Structure 1
């Protein structure tokens, strides 16, 4: 077998195997069909979608349109083979979620004064802070939008008294957004799947917090929002 053809088929088949795994090994394991399903879930597939569709056509030509076992009507160029192998390698060794997270994570205790947290919003240029108890139990994510809604509910005669108001007071007002946790060693695919599942469940996932073990009460090592996922697409486009 032609060396380039062999390398192409090996890489293509391994990518096909990844697509089957991504989709739970469905009965219909047509490559292009699996590609379409995976497009919305995985950034590597999304970025290289059109290219992989073209490679699927070439693969069909290699398999079905050869004259003899050792004679192919069409053979892939070296650049094509190397491109396919690069995509395969990225799928084999996906980057860790922490690479795309905002870190280090600034967080506050539930006893922290709201005025202190509001000052941090202004100084740090972020839109949310995790809140923990004095025993390091995760209590929720305090967002600037949540504070605005809390103020709107609390205002009295155009005045709001923030004296002695703490993070716990605002969180207890029932404005705590949806949060999930993931190990800091988890892959970017696991991260993307969390957000994709929340969309399927019609549940807005505000952020994923990364900890060493993936448990809520460990120290936060990184935080990922939907905006951070844009970094994933940009990185794949640049590679």
Structure 2
């Protein structure tokens, strides 16, 4: 019975490895050949999910070679992976086949404001929910800009006279007029987490800091926002796992 269980673990490992290999073939089109390691070497340059797991995948490739080369029969293996290794490669294979959606780690619903909203209402949201980034729209849901807590603090510092600031009639648009432009992008609800990571990486490669990615109803800047992702949201190493 023990030998049968061990054979099953090796078989499960090989099945999961082949699942990942199939995904790599579908993802990476400019490799010199379809070998697992070649696909990793080429694919990591443009695919966030490959970069995320590449160190483990290289190890899995070596383990897979050991298992296959020491296979003495169709269903009989000498080299056996630990059950934790099998579970790990199965988890990674599932992530390749069905990546988690970006909305899974986003802040939803998103707190957004119209340009004629009062600043005091934004301050209430900061105090109650500890949010720091607020998309601003016109009445037609056309994105205008991003208002951050840092912008508000800088504006207050400039406006302070005699240690008093009157906020009663201050509108969001009053802060946006002199606000610097932030890089913000937009996605659909079907966008997966690794596609969003690629967006942040692409901006970074251009020496630009992507402040937020907004998930809107149709994935454009002129539709109602449903969720927002910031660089902080991407710090979770294993969403849904």
Q: TM-score, normalised by structure 1?
A: 0.79
1:9-88 mapped onto 2 (5 Å cutoff): 9-19=14-24, 21-22=26-27, 24-27=29-32, 31-32=36-37, 35=40, 38=44, 42=48, 46=52, 48-64=53-69, 73-76=78-81, 80-88=85-93
Name the structure 1 match of 2:221: 216
- Work out which of the residue numbers 150, 174, 195 in structure 2 matches 1:190: 195
Q: Is the 8 A contact 1:39 1:49 kept in 2?
A: no
| 1:121, distance to aligned residue in structure 2 (A) | 1.8
Corresponding position: 1:108 with 2:113:
yes
Task: Indicate the larger mover: 81-90 or 96-105.
Answer: 81-90
Corresponding position: 1:235 with 2:239:
yes
CA RMSD of aligned residues (A): 3.4
Distance, in Å, in 1 between the alignment partners of 2:126 and 2:181 is: 17
Distance, in Å, in 1 between the alignment partners of 2:163 and 2:24 is: 57
Instruction: Specify whether residues 159 and 78 from structure 1 end up closer, same or farther in structure 2 by C-alpha distance, changes over 3 A only.
Output: closer
Partner-residue secondary structure (3-state), 2:145:
strand
The runs of 5 or more residues in structure 1 that have no matched partner are none
Q: TM-score, normalised by structure 2?
A: 0.78
Distance, in Å, in 1 between the alignment partners of 2:81 and 2:109 is: 45
Name the structure 2 match of 1:93: 98
Distance, in Å, in 1 between the alignment partners of 2:75 and 2:239 is: 39
The runs of 5 or more residues in structure 2 that have no matched partner are 1-6
Name the structure 2 match of 1:143: 148
Q: Aligned residues, how many?
A: 234
